[in-house]
Amino acid sequence: MEQRVIRLNRNLYLNEINQAIAKGPFHDTWDSLSRYETPTWFSKAKFGIFIHWGVFSVPAYQNEWYPRNMYIEGTLEYEHHLKTYGLHENFGYKDFIPMFTAKKFYPKEWIELFKQSGAKYIVPVAEHHEGFQMYQSSLSHYNAYKMGPCRDILKELKLASEDSGLYFCTSSHRAEHWWFLGYGKQFESDIKEPLTTGDFYWPSVKEQPEEDDLYAVPYPSDDFLVDWLLRCCEIVDRYNPKLFYFDWWIQHEAFKPYLRKFAAYYYNKSNKLGEQAAICYKHDAMMFGTGIVDMERGKFADCKPFIWQTDTATAKNSWCYTNSLDYKSSEELICYLIDVVSKNGNLLLNIGPKADGSISESERTLLTEIGSWLAVNGEAIYNSKVWRYYGEGPAKEVEGKFSEGNTGAYTCRDIRFTVNNGAIYAIVMKCPPDGNTLITMLADNKDQNIPMFHGIIKQVTLLGYKGPITWSKDTNGLLIQTTPLKNTFPIVFKITCD
């Protein structure tokens, strides 16, 4: 009986969506969606917090792909599951749900920490690949409001963030669910037919396709694609996120008409409310200019004329909390933020709370140290624009997704630029211990037809520094001298020009 109610609601809801698209002003064509404009708030915010938290946080082993890999014979997760929880047919992934109680989940404390970090928006994952919805849903019983914590996680985070002035956004990774749990059908486990729409494990059809296979078969069924569309629209209708982030695989050919429908519905909804919404996507899933380009764990080597985003995590080896995380340093994360902003991008930094809802001390320390740096130097980041050049120095940036960690160590000669408040900000990525900084981009190159810089410098200050400072400018560059500095983080010079 429950399945019949779900199907009836699905048909009615789909009709409502189509009717809303027909009224415009955005229609489900790339031509129409090209009238999209990046929200002003996003271009100014620069820094957001991504949150991977869910049932996969309960085993806390390896990474957030535990629910998939635990069903692949021979993997570490498979062996760990047998040893720790027993046979898959007796204890499957669904049996972690009652253990996901979130007893220490205090949304106001989370948001306070995020504010201290200097973040301006949050992007909690509404549904990951494994299919457990972190919000109240009428499309499946397997959601956090009805099972596990029995709380509307998304709603609580929305209310807390908006009360604190942070922009509430969210993400869906539902597309990958088509194949995510498919290996569980290859041996005796709790994943078995019949599986119908609304079931937790439905459809679990096949092994993982190649990431760049835009035509992987079997194609997602119409039933699955409609379900995907409805779930996305339900999130929009219930929570009105200011940005909707999609993980990969929506670039598959089968998703295109449904993705266009969602974009039109979402943009129309926001337009009706007098707001600007945005969709963040990867792998050219959308026509360029209809949303925000995202690059996972990577960035561009040079400045771009369009606003973009990179998403990465505090840990190098997982997006969710596990018992074996390899955390990055706060210095590394601050430099990452600076480099991305200098190239017209935003940084979406992920954290992974524990299953009980607490945030590890390691991540708390990282976030507060980032926030401390931004409290002093934030004027070079927030609301900033790119300069004529993004930077200078010997460090060679490697461009592309999953390219982080391949850039050489920054030196005192590596400098990144932004513009704000009528000034050029020169951010020195490695603090010079002797107090001497030479900025070659600001040299007097009078013999060049197009000098790198030909403005008049009126004043040079070092943010957060109260000691003596001198500067001089010649054909070698702008030489700035301070007392010897002991600082493990980047330093920021504010160069006021006339």
Give the CATH number, domain containing residue 404: 2.60.40.1180
Q: Is residue 360 part of a domain?
A: no
Residues 292 and 396 in one domain: no
- Beta-bridged to residue 245, according to DSSP, are 171, 280
Look at the chain and report how many structural domains it folds into. Answer: 2
Residues 69 and 173 in one domain: yes
Residues 106 and 241 in one domain: yes
Q: Is residue 33 part of a domain?
A: yes
High-pLDDT (> 90) share of the chain, %: 89
Alpha-carbon span 399 to 374, nearest angstrom: 26
Q: Is residue 375 part of a domain?
A: no
Mean pLDDT, range 97-108, rounded to an integer: 98
Q: Is residue 348 part of a domain?
A: no
Domain boundary among 262, 296, 330: 296
Domain boundary among 261, 278, 296: 296
Does 4 have pLDDT greater than 50? no
Q: What is the CATH number of the domain that holds 248?
A: 3.20.20.80
pTM over 0.75: yes
Q: Is residue 344 part of a domain?
A: no
Domain boundary among 250, 266, 296: 296
Q: Is residue 19 part of a domain?
A: yes
- Digit-coded pLDDT (tens) for 230-289: 999 999 999 999 999 999 999 999 999 999 999 999 999 999 999 999 999 999 999 999
Look at residue 451 in the predicted model and tell me its pLDDT.
Answer: 65
Q: Which residue has the tokens 């949304």?
A: 107
Residues 133 and 262 in one domain: yes
Q: Is residue 329 part of a domain?
A: no
Residues 400 and 258 in one domain: no
How many Cα atoms within 13 Å fall on the side-chain side of residue 242?
21
Mean pLDDT, range 366-372, rounded to an integer: 98
396: containing domain = 391-497
Residues 437 and 289 in one domain: no
Q: Is residue 382 part of a domain?
A: no
Q: Quick one: tokens of 372?
A: 């401390």
Mean pLDDT, range 207-214, rounded to an integer: 79
